[in-house]
Amino acid sequence: MKREAEIGDMGIVLGTVDHGDGTSVMRMFSREHGVIGCWMREGKRGGRRSNRRFAPLTVLEIADLKGKPGGLFRFQKSERPWVQIRTASEMNRAAVAMFLAEFTDKILAPEVAHPEVFEALMRAAHVLEHEEQTAWVHLAFAVELVKLLGLQPESIMPPAGAKRYNLQSAEWQYDPPVEDGHLDVDIAKLFTGIQGMKIAKLRELKIDKDHRVLLLRAHVQYLQLHLSRRAPIQSWDVLHAVLTS
C-alpha cells in the first residue's frame, strides 16, 4: 500500500523562474530550511501548468520536502491552508505580495532557517488576504524584520544641529546634504521612533501615505546596508506606483 504523504514543513512562495521546458524553479521560504529553490515539473501547456504555478506569498503546507545543501529541493505534495483570492485578484494587495516576497528573497541569505521571520511573513500574508486595512502591512513586516534580525537601532532624538541620519552607521550626523543612504531629520525621527512597534500600534500613528513610502524605503535600504544584500528590488516601482496613486 502506498503511504500517505505527511505534511512536514510550511513554505511561502517567493517567486518562480520558468525554464521553458515544462519545468521551473520555485523560490520558497521554508520554516525549516530558510530560502530555498524547489524544482517543479509543471507540464508544458494548459491547465496542468497553471495549476502548479503559485503566486508570490502563497502559503503552502509541504509534504516530503527533500534536498541537499546548495542544491534544489523537491516535494511530493503541497496544500494551501487558505486560498489567497483577494491577494491574487486585487491590484493593491498583489503589489504588496510581490514586494514582500521579493524583499524576503533578496534580504535573507539562502538556506538559513529563520522560523520567527517565517511566522512574521505568514502573518503578513494572512493580514493581506483577510483584513480590510492593509496600508501598514508592508511597513509593519519591515519593522519586525529589523528587530528579528537583531538590527534594531536605538530610538534616540537627534542632537542639536544634526542634519541627517546615516543608515549604515545608525548615527546622527552634522554634514549636509542628505545623500543616498541618509535620512533627513524628520523622516529619521519617525524611522527610529517606530522600531519595535507592532502593526496595531503603527495603525494608531497619523502618518500619511507619502511618509509611509519613505519609511518603507528607509527600512529596505537599512537592511540592505547592514546585511550587504544590495540586489535591487524589481517590484519596488510597481509598489511605489500603487501606494502613491
The residue with greater pLDDT, 50 or 77, is 77
Set out the domains of the chain in order of their start, with CATH numbers: 7-152+195-244 (2.40.50.140)
Mean pLDDT computed over 127-140: 95
Kindly indicate the confidence band of residue 46, based on its pLDDT and cuts at 50, 70 and 90. low
Give the contacts of 96 (CB within 8 A, at least 6 positions apart). 128, 134, 137, 138, 239, 242
**Does the structure show a pLDDT above 60 at 149?**
yes
Mean pLDDT computed over 17-37: 90
CA distance 207 to 197: 14
Residue 5: predicted pLDDT:
43
Please state which of the ranges 1-15, 91-105, 165-179, 211-225 shows the lowest mean pLDDT. Answer: 1-15
DSSP for residue 120: H
Mean pLDDT computed over 23-37: 95
The residue with greater pLDDT, 44 or 240, is 240
Count CA atoms closer than 13 A to 99's CA, side-chain side.
25
CA distance 144 to 97: 16
**Does the structure show a pLDDT above 80 at 244?**
yes
Q: Which single residue is written with the C-alpha cell 486585487? A: 90
Give the mean pLDDT of the chain. 90
CA distance 59 to 11: 6
Q: Quick check: 52 and 69 in contact, CB under 8 A?
A: no
**Does the structure show a pLDDT above 60 at 112?**
yes
CA distance 14 to 99: 9
Residue 68: predicted pLDDT:
87
pLDDT in tens, 164-216: 999 999 999 999 888 889 999 999 999 999 999 999 999 999 899 999 999 99
Mean pLDDT computed over 44-69: 78
Residue 114: predicted pLDDT:
97
**Does the structure show a pLDDT above 50 at 2?**
no
Percent of the chain past pLDDT 90, that is, above it, reads: 78
